[in-house]
Amino acid sequence: MDSLTWLLDLLALLYALVFFPAPIFWLIIHPAIEFWRRFGARAYWMALPLWLLSGITLLVLRADLFADRLNRNAVTTLIGTGLVLLGLWLNRRVHHEFNWRRLVGFPEINPERHAGGVVRSGIYANLRHPRYLEFMITFMGLALLTGAVGIFVLAIITVLLYLIVTPLEERELRQQYGQEYEAYRSEVPRFLPGGGGPDRGSILDSEVLMRNLVLAALLAGVLLVAAPLPAQQVCPSLPYLVNTPEDELMLAYNGAENPQEQIAALDKFAQEHADSKFLPCVYELYTLVYLKQNDYAKVIQQGEKGLAQERPDIMLLLNLAKAYVSSGTATDTAFEAILKAPASIQAESTPARPPNVGDEEWKKIVDETTQQAKDWRGYMEYAFFQLLQHEPDGNKRVQRLDSFVQAYPDSPNAGQINFNYFIAYKMANNAAKTEEFAEKAVAAEPNNVSTLNVVADDYATRQTNLDRAEEYAKKALELAGSMKKPEGMTDEQFKAQQDSQLGFAHLTLGYISFQKNSKTKKVAPAIQEFRTATDLLGSNPALQGRALFYEGYAYEVLYPANHKAAFEALSRSAGLASPWQGQAQELLEKVKKAMGQ
């Protein structure tokens, strides 16, 4: 742990020791204020055991307070520093208006001996409770600076306690100072400047609104840091004891200020404890830190060392899958990692029911765990299909799909599985299996425009079933026209996607019409389909080049041949970077000769 982290932890602990019991003390005092006023200043003796009990508890639990840390970065450091500085400024302004007796509440405990009154000067002209605001934002600022989960918990508890204490205190002040304080409440906001008092609308509504605003503002920092945290626990299958080398590693790793320090701590442990049973966790931590740096080669290098375990932790497998997908690495080991995931997910998503947990709480735990397992499986299946696209061998694709179906027998992606079998068998030139899985893919997702288009195109170009191809292409044309824009996609992107599907369907229909009518040379309807397809396929050079080639070829088949129109279409096709560029150039030369050029 570096010196700055140690210093911030010390400041946070000292602040908790001194100020955390304060709202608890007033929560005891305010509801029974008349009782405590009988004792006068002696009521403060009650604070001594409270502070001692709180202090001893915090000191005993100090290691737990700082054991887990949320991600810290420049933004959270800036916000945390700003909150602490604002708290110090508020402290100075409050001390300028109140002496120490008033600050500790003597006028409330013993109003007969210590005169009070409504203060409207200085900071109190803008806020009714700057002292409490100071405590809340300083605590939250220290939580952001340390990143310690325990300090966050104490800060949130402090905020909630002051949100409860403040109305109780104001009830006493209204009773004590009457209309003078009511007027002050109506003019000056409780915590946030500019909000106005309760007379701006319903008193209850204003109070509730103010509480929610303060709570939202102070918890924003917590949400800012906690959002990127992984939901799963690191190395759940490898627990470790306190004051062991493994414990020291985790303290150094969690307390590191940057990825370089984390890597250095892992390197040191790996070198000094090469035979440790904790090394699989070290590999997992390596994948976490390298993934943050987008160093996918290092993620794969370290993560694959951990695959030797019989059942690697799911976090290791997820991190590896992300690196494989991001780098396009589709090796045997990559698919092995994906196939190991279901067993790891099953093991890590079946928790034992803790004692003394109620049915409602246990149901919530089970529901959250089930959803988490679903998310994990969803990503691993997504990774599989992404990597499968990088496999150039059709037979090997079939083998990988067979293994996937065995590992994920209850996959909800039946349509995608069948479609990929269709593509794999097509690559392997297995005509019977290609048609079998083409039909299975359509049956699984009968309204999938992309599947309909690809299957129709396959049937048409292989001339195996032109009638079925026409049926599917017409259905794709009908469905594509009513496609709904996915979330997160711009209008321009959606228009390009929709036009591409419409153009693909017209291209297939044109090819079918050409095949059926080329012998009679009545190919004008086919030419019209090709022209429509060309206009729609501007965002897809491969398909547009093909449509233009077919159009040019059809003009040559037409009787009488239209060399000029063929020349124009083929010239455009030859000018596009597509698989049809060479064929278009070759046919174009023949057309030129026919034209006498």
CATH number of the domain that residue 129 is part of: 1.20.120.1630
Q: Is the pLDDT of residue 135 over 70?
A: yes
* Average pLDDT for 140-149: 88
| 110/153 same-domain check | yes
Q: Residue 487 and residue 495: Cα distance in Å, rounded?
A: 14
| 543/455 same-domain check | no
User: Are 485 and 470 within 8 A, CB to CB?
Assistant: no
| 285/174 same-domain check | no
| 110/30 same-domain check | yes
Residue 240, C-beta contacts closer than 8 angstroms, at least 6 positions apart: 246, 247, 250, 278
User: Are 563 and 591 within 8 A, CB to CB?
Assistant: yes
* Peptide bond just before 245 cis, omega within 30 deg: no
Residue 484 lies in a domain: no
- pTM here is 0.60
Residue 19, C-beta contacts closer than 8 angstroms, at least 6 positions apart: 135, 139, 158
pLDDT of residue 123: 79
Residue 485 lies in a domain: no
User: 143-152, 217-226, 285-294 — which is least confidently predicted?
Assistant: 217-226
Residue 311 lies in a domain: yes
Domain end position, chosen among 175, 197, 226: 226
Quick one: 584 exposed, middle or buried, by C-beta within 10 A (0-12, 13-18, 19+)?
Answer: buried
| 341/384 same-domain check | yes
Residue 236 lies in a domain: no
Q: Tell me, rounded to whole angstroms, the distance of Cα 346 from its chain centroid.
A: 22
Range(s) of the domain holding residue 412: 245-463
Q: Taken in order 566, 568, 574, 578, is the CA torsion positive or negative?
A: negative
The closest of 594, 531, 514 to 562, measured between CA atoms, is: 594
The closest of 31, 34, 27 to 50, measured between CA atoms, is: 27
| 444/506 same-domain check | no
DSSP state string for 329-367: ---HHHHHHHHHHHHHHHHHS-PPPPTT--HHHHHHHHH
User: In a 3-state reduction of DSSP, which class is residue 133?
Assistant: helix
Q: Is the pLDDT of residue 597 over 90?
A: no
Residue 83 lies in a domain: yes
Using CA atoms, how far residue 204 sits from 200, 209, 545, in Å, is 11, 8, 69
* Average pLDDT for 399-405: 97
* Domain at 339, CATH number: 1.25.40.10
Q: Residue 473 and residue 506: Cα distance in Å, rounded?
A: 8
User: What percent of the chain shows pLDDT beyond 90?
Assistant: 47
| 219/250 same-domain check | no
Q: Is the pLDDT of residue 525 over 50?
A: yes
Place of tokens 């949130």: 156
Question: Nearest 5°: phi and psi at 148?
Answer: -75, 125
Total domain count for the chain? 3
pLDDT of residue 110: 58
| 145/214 same-domain check | yes
| 133/200 same-domain check | yes
| 200/300 same-domain check | no
Per-residue burial over 135-147, b if 16 or more Cβ lie within 10 Å, else e, is: bbbbbbbbbbbbb
Using CA atoms, how far residue 332 sits from 246, 286, 339, in Å, is 32, 22, 11
**290 token code pair:** 């390298």
Question: Nearest 5°: phi and psi at 219?
Answer: -90, -5
| 544/457 same-domain check | no
* Domain at 510, CATH number: 1.25.40
pLDDT of residue 337: 94
Residue 111 lies in a domain: yes
Q: How far apart are the first and last CA of the chain?
A: 81
**What pLDDT, in 10s, does the model give residues 218-253?**
444 444 443 333 333 467 666 767 678 888 888 888
Residue 468 lies in a domain: no
| 105/211 same-domain check | yes
Q: How confident is the model at residue 53 (pLDDT cuts 50, 70, 90)?
A: confident
Residue 471 lies in a domain: no
